[in-house]
């Protein structure tokens, strides 16, 4: 297993910020319902000259700059997304081309929906390490506005676009706690995809809500049973930002102090694979991740998929 250390972070957000009142102009909803039921006040949508790849590019450039590394030092690039601009080439290969990552390194995407970044961390802990190029780029990026049915009020108020990238230094024969899992289910959350005409998100919100709360609780129990960590050892808890009520439920159940919990769904909405790294980015940018800090992070989403990890700084 590899040890993982995040040494740089960056993000990419579209320019257009869409408020709940903006959405109430197009669909039968209102600011009060959305904020009360989800904690969301606004979200970003790509405009015509922005896309999944432009967001990923911005995140990668900032992350490499903050890590103080050049493209030639990157040995691996993984993008987690369900909304790539192209079916082929994948986002990671397009980033390789645009940023000038070394020829011959592995670059690929993973589709584990909102758990994508957690799946990516787990993969990084298992991948061969290129000792000459020990840095990996792990990107979470989504352009969900492209697959959002703007006439469906039960989903269109939830999702947003965005990207974040972590530069991760890999160390052979290190230690890293992570866990990933899945339970195949097409019914309660799907985006039909390429050959199915207009392809929008379909979700049975209540069922996903119940699944989410249950699986995060189980991932915390697993952490405490299968590792030497306990949740109370953690300096921060970063959960997938799907609904503030899910996060508050876990907070109450596990008595998580407010200052340890990261909640940024209010101005970003649910950005699927980008949500966990966008929350990590805020901690990073605020200078709250000094050496020795520990973060428990967990994600859940379509697939169904889920995952958790402990990041040590």
Q: Which residues bind ligand UT7 (CB under 6 A)?
A: 29, 33-34, 37-38, 114, 153-154, 157, 205-206, 208-209, 212, 242-243, 270, 272, 301
Task: Please say which residue, 167 or 212, places its beta carbon nearer to ligand UT7.
Answer: 212
The residue annotated as part of the active site, out of 107, 240, 243, 264, is 240
- 279 by Cβ neighbours in 10 Å (0-12 / 13-18 / 19+) ranks as buried
Task: Please say which residue, 37 or 179, places its beta carbon nearer to ligand UT7.
Answer: 37
**Quick check: 288 and 231 in contact, CB under 8 A?**
no
Minimum gap (Å) between residue 287 Cβ and ligand UT7: 29
Minimum gap (Å) between residue 273 Cβ and ligand UT7: 10
The residue annotated as part of the active site, out of 90, 93, 107, 114, is 114
Q: Which residue has the tokens 């990996």?
A: 136
- 196 by Cβ neighbours in 10 Å (0-12 / 13-18 / 19+) ranks as exposed
Task: Please say which residue, 153 or 169, places its beta carbon nearer to ligand UT7.
Answer: 153
**Quick check: 311 and 237 in contact, CB under 8 A?**
no
Q: Which residue has the tokens 């109430």?
A: 24
Task: Please say which residue, 202 or 288, places its beta carbon nearer to ligand UT7.
Answer: 202
Crossing angle for the helix pair 244-254 and 205-226, nearest 10 degrees? 40
Minimum gap (Å) between residue 157 Cβ and ligand UT7: 4
Write out the H or E segment, with its range, that includes residue 88.
Answer: none
Alpha-carbon dihedral 276, 279, 285, 289, rounded to 10 degrees: -80
185 is catalytic: no
Minimum gap (Å) between residue 286 Cβ and ligand UT7: 24
| Nearest residue to the partner ligand UT7, using Cβ | 205
Minimum gap (Å) between residue 2 Cβ and ligand UT7: 28
Can you tell me the distance from the alpha carbon of 287 to that of 54, in angstroms, rounded to the nearest whole number? 26
Neighbours of 179 (CB within 10 A): 17
Dihedrals phi, psi of 301, to nearest 5 degrees: 175, -160
111 is catalytic: no
Task: Please say which residue, 212 or 237, places its beta carbon nearer to ligand UT7.
Answer: 212
179 is catalytic: no
* Residues annotated catalytic, as ranges: 114, 240, 270
């Amino acid at each position: 297993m590899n040890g993982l250390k995040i040494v740089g972070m960056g993000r990419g957000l579209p320019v257009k910020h869409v408020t709940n009142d903006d959405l109430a102009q197009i669909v039968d909803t209102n600011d009060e319902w959305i904020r009360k039921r989800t904690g969301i006040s606004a979200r970003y949508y790509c405009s015509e000259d922005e896309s999944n790849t432009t967001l990923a590019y911005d995140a990668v450039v900032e992350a490499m700059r903050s890590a103080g590394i050049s493209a030639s030092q990157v040995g691996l690039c993984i993008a987690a997304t369900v909304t790539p601009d192209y079916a082929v080439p994948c986002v990671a290969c397009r980033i390789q081309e645009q940023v000038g990552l070394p020829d011959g390194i592995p670059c690929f995407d993973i589709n584990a929906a909102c758990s994508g970044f957690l799946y990516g961390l787990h993969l990084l802990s298992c991948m061969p390490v290129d000792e000459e190029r020990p840095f990996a780029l792990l990107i979470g990026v989504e352009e969900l506005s492209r697959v959002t049915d703007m006439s469906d009020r039960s989903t269109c108020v939830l999702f947003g676009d965005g990207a974040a990238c972590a530069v991760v230094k890999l160390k052979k024969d290190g230690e890293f706690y992570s866990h990933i899992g899945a339970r195949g289910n097409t019914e309660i959350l799907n985006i039909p995809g390429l050959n199915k005409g207009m392809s929008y998100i379909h979700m049975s919100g209540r069922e996903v809500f119940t699944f989410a709360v249950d699986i995060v609780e189980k991932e915390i129990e697993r952490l405490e049973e299968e590792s030497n960590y306990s949740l109370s050892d953690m300096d921060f808890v970063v959960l997938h930002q799907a609904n503030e009520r899910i996060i508050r439920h876990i907070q109450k159940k596990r008595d998580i102090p407010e200052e340890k919990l990261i909640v940024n769904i209010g101005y970003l909405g649910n950005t699927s694979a980008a949500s966990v790294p966008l929350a990590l980015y805020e901690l990073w940018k605020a200078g709250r991740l000094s050496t020795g800090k520990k973060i428990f992070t967990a994600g859940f989403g379509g697939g169904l998929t889920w995952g958790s990890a402990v990041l040590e700084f």
